[in-house]
Amino acid sequence: MLRTSTDIDGVISAELPDANLYPKLSKAVATYMIHGPCGVTRISSPCMINGRCSKFYPKKFKLLTTIDEDGYPCYKRQDNGIFILKNGIKLDNRNVVLYSPLLLLRYQAQFENYYYS
């Protein structure tokens, strides 16, 4: 069971990996685990409802993973300067969908779960 923020960070990420250190993971995250662009940069995105992203992206930067008063994790999304370009738009950790590095590399697919992102 994942009880602490360290436990959570060991199996779940919401950040772009360093492409120099983890090239395969970086490519998989860029391919499968990026939400957007949406919002003011692309108001025609299918996730947009009444001028807002229905999946609540982009998320806020967060220095550390924390667990809120109801026991739900709030995932680390550091403002570390790493970004990808998608449709000519820079997307950073605020647009990363939660993923398990192990499962992502193994199955190369997005797992639809927006409850905890």
DSSP, res 49: E
Alpha-carbon distance of 57 to 40, in angstroms, equals: 11
pTM: 0.87
- Residues 6 or more apart whose CB falls under 8 angstroms from that of 40 comprise none
**Domain-embedded: residue 112:** no
Task: Count other C-beta atoms under 10 Å from residue 20's C-beta.
Answer: 7
**Domain-embedded: residue 53:** no
- 80 has a pLDDT exceeding 60: yes
Supply 90's token pair: 């820079």
- 60 has a pLDDT exceeding 60: yes
pLDDT, tens digit, 9 for 90 and up, residues 88-104: 999 999 999 999 999 99
Indicate the SS3 state at residue 96: strand
Q: Which domain holds residue 97?
A: 5-34+60-107
Residues in the chain: 117
- 6 has a pLDDT exceeding 60: yes
Provide the pLDDT confidence category of residue 112 given band limits of 50, 70 and 90.
Answer: low
pLDDT, tens digit, 9 for 90 and up, residues 35-59: 989 988 899 999 999 999 999 999 9
- 78 has a pLDDT exceeding 70: yes
If we measure between CA atoms, which residue out of 78, 77, 95 comes closest to residue 86? 95
**Domain-embedded: residue 48:** no
Supply 22's token pair: 């983890």
**Domain-embedded: residue 85:** yes
